[in-house]
Structure 1
Amino acid sequence: MAFDWADFGVDLHLDLPAGERRAGLEQALRAAIRSRRLAPGSRLPATRTLAAELGVARGTVAAAYDQLVAEGYLTARTGSGTTVALLPPASPVPAAAAAPPAPRFDLRPGAPDVTSFPTSAWLRATRRALSRAPAAAFDYGDPRGHPALRAALAEYLGRARGVLAHPDRIVVTSGYVQALALLAGLHRVVAMEDPGLAFHREVVRRAGARVVPVPVDAAGARTDLLESTVDAVVLTPAHQYPTGVTLAPARRRLVADWAREHGALVIEDDYDGEFRYDRQPVGAVQGVAAEQVAYVGSAAKTLGPGLRLGWVVLPERLVEPVVEAKRHSDYHTEVVGQLTLAELITSHGYDRHVRAVRSRYRARRDLLLARLRGAALGGVAAGLHALFPLPPGGPLERDVLAAAASRGLALGDLGSHWHAPGDHPQGLIIGYGTPSESRYPAALDVLARVLRA
């Protein structure tokens, strides 16, 4: 009877040396165990199965197993099969580089409170989405993303963020970083806010574009300084990162006119647009200049960065170039998360979650203001962080950060966000999204002591 490879139980690859079969099998198993290719606890195939696979007698395999059990390489228990024994390493294992200890209190910016992830709602949405999904949903899909999610996003973004979004103009990405890389790869010179996130500048450079700074003041990015040599600009209009200012209406009009006149692109990073506390959220620039703006959003702040789900709403002329770039990057974003998010949006579970966390983060913002009463904090009208300016001639960023670290508190700094070293204003970036609800008050207590000192 022919051996049925499709029905083989536990896969085990062995290269048997030429010569006597039992000795060769013992030698191959010893080598695999010593090299840790077969890890301690690994279960071996039954003797009958392995004999059929190797084309040897079952007694040959049984004798080899018995010999290695006697030598201590294998363990055999009735009813539990044969497994690899725990052996001491043949040579000392190199010590891993010591990771810096995690801070007791983390007030660095850039992350939400992931303990607020709506696990129950996500599980319910996953079950509903998968129960209705056709088998074709799990095949290779459209690089633009699953139609269900693109349709749900078009409705949600238009309603909640004032974005003019048609499903055919949306490309689902593996987060903001991929969207930025896809867009930057289509341009030569990209202007980016100064100060801004250094990691995003590196993403643009690695995509092949040259980065030039555009200064930021109290009215947002100086879009009046954009030159004709620039063919794209990256902006955070709703809540500039890290200063927290909002792009002034006049500068919004200026950047749209500049892009229209020079055939350039505005890349709008709406990283925390849902979180506005003191008035109605500021609508997207894309809503008044759809053919000049690529609007980029993600689920990183509202749900969690671990989902790796983002989206970009494109001008018509960029749809095909971005789709082709996405196709040759990772073909398409994983589908289960897309189907689940689509279900969460269409059932309004996403809206309910956003309202809940917006209320929670507003309470955190209010507590921060209360603890630091009198401090001139910037950017507190929205988002998940605030800027604490340090006075000229006062303590240096590095000294305050060191004092905080000595008390187990991690903070962000303004200095690392400037495009180039120089005589820049100094400040601390206080992120109030990361700590859990239970640890946040204690983190503020430590922060207040550090700043008083």
Structure 2
Amino acid sequence: MEETWATLGVDLHLETGGDASRHGVRRGLTDALREAVRGGRLAPGTRLPSSRALAVDLGIARNTVADAYADLVAEGWLTARQGSGTRVAERVVTPPARPRPPGRKGGAPTYDLTPGRPDLSAFPRAEWQKAARRALAAAPDDALGFADPRGRVELRTALAGYLARARGVHADPGRIVVTAGFVHALAILGRVLRARGLRTVTVESYGLDLHWNLLHRAGLRTAPLGFDALGTDVAGLAAGSSKAVLLTSAHQFPMGVPLHPDRRAAAVDWARRAGGLILEDDYDGEFRYDRQPVGALQGLDPEHVVYLGTASKSLAPGLRLGWMVLPAGVHDEVLAAKDADGASCGALDQLTLAEFITSGAYDRHVRRMRLRYRRRRDDLVRALATAAPHVEVHGLAAGLHAVLRLPPGHERTVVQAANWQHLALQGLSLFRHPEATPQDQDGLVVGYGTPAEHAWTGALQALCRVLAGAGG
């Protein structure tokens, strides 16, 4: 027997604020249902009457009821699944608010699946401490003096060996400049390019607005390339006037695909013909799961590619350690620009990372984390296959995140529903360049590397609840 409002035993009062229009009735119904759920009169899992039955009970139009239900599904109060009807969402009852301890950030999510960070709880504290002690004991006196703008030679030497072995980078210690992370390196390069007379840097159609804004502040415009099933389309380089391009060639962020081999070759050919410069952001190149990591683009032409790496994804962003491997043609300009801004990384942190690499601890940590992230990726795929089979999962071969494709128009609804589940989640549209060709692609960028190990299961369950509630 189909539920009616009377069988639920809930007295529903519609307050329309004097507005008897369809909009006013819809608003009144939405508010009344929300308060019934919030106040516990409608328990989690309760099946609600069909829109037709409730419309008859209340003497209003069926479309008004359907719209009110849709509003509450979008907010996360209700779920709607084909064949299961509309139900009150399964949610943890929130206790009355207590005063927050001093310093606690208001509104902080319970679960965090935003991309761009590793599992910070897995930082190898004991191994890092051992490396720091050894590095400090062996540090020469001049390590405590004024810094070389290139960075400590011990770290540059260690990086040259590691990058050649693990990423296929042609790196001489004299061509490496240590920076305070990728953002610091990009800001320096932006100033150098602008000083050379460039007005535009070509970028990918998907990426981080933080990076685009850095280039804008340097006085440079950013012009996006196209994107298709093969990833970033570099054909636009030849058609444009820009002499520099920023690429995530090993693992496009956030779409998760490597630059196609033909397009890798085409990008290098363009740089040679046009005298252009490729800025290669190798942000998580160590984490590939289906085969050996894709080698760096820099290996194809070290004189036309600036290789940019960082310890932010492999270890922790708080270390503020990154590096550039520079072509001879820009080395002196970049070094002068870095020296002029006065920013440098702590010598002892550099020496510790050098020791961490040369001792083999860095390789062991990367292998350990690769296994952990692969397990989480597999957990994600299995859970979604059961809870939300309508969701397509992409970008699984590498990295710390996946892209979940949603039907058009669903992205905003799902992100709003995630907020009600206290889940930090970011939509794909957030990463689309404002000048990129519009694409009918709704989705989520799910950072499965971010949660601490103890929080991973809860975060995954929250995601499944949100996507299951969104329906197909």
> Who is 1:142 aligned against?
148
Counterparts of 2:226 and 2:348, CA distance in 1: 41
Alignment of 1:280-359 (within 5 A): 280-359=292-371
What's the offset of the Cα at 1:331? Answer: 4.7
Deviates more, 1:173-182 or 1:224-233: 224-233
Q: Larger Rg: 1 or 2?
A: 1
Q: What do the CA deviations read for 1:331-355 (whole angstroms, capped 9, x no partner)? A: 5322111000000001011001111
What's the offset of the Cα at 1:141? Answer: 2.0
> Who is 1:418 aligned against?
432
Counterparts of 1:344 and 1:323, CA distance in 2: 26
Are residues 1:260 and 2:272 paired?
yes
Alignment of 1:221-300 (within 5 A): 221-226=232-237, 227-300=239-312
Counterparts of 2:331 and 2:167, CA distance in 1: 21
In 2, are the aligned partners of 1:236 and 1:268 still within 8 Å (CA)?
yes
Are residues 1:450 and 2:456 paired?
no
What's the offset of the Cα at 1:98? Answer: 9.8
In 1, are the aligned partners of 2:289 and 2:397 still within 8 Å (CA)?
yes
- The 3 A distance-change label for structure 1 pair 287 and 406 is same
Are residues 1:196 and 2:202 paired?
no
Query: Could you tell me the TM-score, scaled by structure 2's length?
Result: 0.73
> Who is 2:227 aligned against?
216
- The 3 A distance-change label for structure 1 pair 120 and 351 is same
> Who is 1:174 aligned against?
180
Counterparts of 1:184 and 1:248, CA distance in 2: 26
Query: Residue 121 of structure 1 is aligned with which of 120, 127, 141?
Result: 127
In 2, are the aligned partners of 1:145 and 1:333 still within 8 Å (CA)?
yes
Counterparts of 2:342 and 2:361, CA distance in 1: 29
Q: What do the CA deviations read for 1:177-216 (whole angstroms, capped 9, x no partner)? A: 0111111222221011111111110011112221111122
What's the offset of the Cα at 1:427? Answer: 0.8
What's the offset of the Cα at 1:313? Answer: 0.4
Counterparts of 1:246 and 1:194, CA distance in 2: 14
Q: How many equivalent residue pairs?
A: 356
> Who is 1:378 aligned against?
394
What SS class does the counterpart of residue 389 from structure 1 fall into? strand
Are residues 1:406 and 2:406 paired?
no
> Who is 1:105 aligned against?
111
Counterparts of 2:206 and 2:361, CA distance in 1: 36
What's the offset of the Cα at 1:423? Answer: 5.3
What's the offset of the Cα at 1:289? Answer: 1.1
In 1, are the aligned partners of 2:157 and 2:173 still within 8 Å (CA)?
yes
Letter in 1 for 2:405: P
Counterparts of 1:289 and 1:432, CA distance in 2: 34
Counterparts of 1:98 and 1:112, CA distance in 2: 22
> Who is 2:96 aligned against?
none
> Who is 1:7 aligned against?
none
Query: Residue 131 of structure 1 is aligned with which of 113, 134, 137?
Result: 137
In 1, are the aligned partners of 2:160 and 2:171 still within 8 Å (CA)?
yes
What's the offset of the Cα at 1:228? Answer: 4.6
Letter in 1 for 2:421: R
* Uncovered stretches (5+) of structure 2, i.e. residues with no partner: 1-101
Query: Residue 163 of structure 1 is aligned with which of 169, 176, 186?
Result: 169
> Who is 2:94 aligned against?
none
Counterparts of 1:221 and 1:160, CA distance in 2: 24
What's the offset of the Cα at 1:238? Answer: 1.0
In 2, are the aligned partners of 1:228 and 1:262 still within 8 Å (CA)?
no
* Uncovered stretches (5+) of structure 1, i.e. residues with no partner: 1-95
- The 3 A distance-change label for structure 1 pair 228 and 115 is same
What SS class does the counterpart of residue 444 from structure 2 fall into? strand
Query: Residue 432 of structure 1 is aligned with which of 442, 445, 448?
Result: 448
Letter in 2 for 1:199: L
**Displaced runs of 4+ in structure 1, greater than 3 A?**
96-100, 421-424
In 1, are the aligned partners of 2:392 and 2:406 still within 8 Å (CA)?
no
Q: CA RMSD in A?
A: 1.6
Counterparts of 1:118 and 1:329, CA distance in 2: 32
In 2, are the aligned partners of 1:237 and 1:247 still within 8 Å (CA)?
yes
> Who is 2:11 aligned against?
none
Query: Could you tell me the TM-score, scaled by structure 1's length?
Result: 0.76
Q: What do the CA deviations read for 1:265-319 (whole angstroms, capped 9, x no partner)? A: 0000000000000111000000111111000000000100000000010111111
Counterparts of 1:331 and 1:450, CA distance in 2: 44
